[in-house]
Amino acid sequence: MPKKDILVLQDLLLSNAQAAAAIRAELEGRGILAVNLMSSPGAGKTSLLERIAERTAGGLKIAVIEGDIETERDAERIRAKGVPAWQITTGGACHLEAKMVGRVLPSVPPETEILFIENVGNLVCPAGYDLGERLRIVLLSAPEGDDKPKKYPQAFATAQTLVLTKADLFPHLPFDPAKAKAEALELNPKLEVFITSAVTGEGLDELVAHLRRKREEILGRA
């Protein structure tokens, strides 16, 4: 890669880091925990958020920023659950950037406690961009295979939480959750791991409790 291209990339990452730091400071000041959700396309990010919305209705106040290349479909699904949601369409870019998230912040209700940022479906590009989150969650679904952590190491090494999704399919696919968990923990021993199913509800209450606990630990607010 030519030196000029490297310098341009460094400038872009520096600019993103500055925007992310400003977002983090603003959200922490407002008592909002930002959570960056990363996964391959179809791993179940939106379905997981729908189930979380159902379990926090009338309690924990959540909001969602949806990232996709095109359409408002995911934001519409979240709004149907009574949760504020905004769609960011990248028009082809494979990840969200902090400045995109920053444009939405004025619309986020002041009573929000957790702001989920559902990144564009991709285990490569999103891992390199800080969005101002304090908690990064990576999802891995049964149909993808249990060998993905070491094939896409940055996504798993930079996350704090791993969610193995579509557990209802485990008996029907060549997916070993213990193997996937072990491989991820080799990359990142501090990962907290949850097994969930948006179909059966397995693990969802435990995940919601984890989110509440992380907000209290990180922001010092119950």
Beta bridge partner(s), residue 23: none
Q: What is the pLDDT of residues 151-189, one digit of tens each?
A: 999 999 999 999 999 999 999 999 999 999 999 999 999
Q: What is the mean pLDDT of the chain?
A: 94
| Beta carbons within 10 angstroms of residue 14's beta carbon | 10
| pTM score above 0.85 | yes
**Phi, psi at 35, each rounded to 5°:** -125, 120
| pLDDT over 60 at 7, yes or no | no
Per-residue pLDDT, averaged over 7-24, amounts to 75
- CA dihedral of 156, 158, 160, 165, whole degrees rounded to 10: -30
Report the CATH number at residue 45: 3.40.50.300
Per-residue pLDDT, averaged over 76-84, amounts to 98
- Tokens 């213990």: give the residue: 178
The token pair that represents 25 in the structure block = 């400071």
| pLDDT over 80 at 215, yes or no | yes
Q: Band the pLDDT of 12: cuts 50, 70, 90.
A: low
Q: How many domains does the chain have?
A: 1
| pLDDT over 60 at 48, yes or no | yes
What is the C-alpha to C-alpha distance for residues 44 and 109, in angstroms, rounded to an integer?
Answer: 26
Per-residue pLDDT, averaged over 101-129, amounts to 97
What pLDDT shows up at residue 11? 52
Exposed, middle or buried, 5 (CB in 10 Å: 0-12/13-18/19+)? Answer: exposed
Q: By residue range, what is the domain housing residue 96? A: 3-219
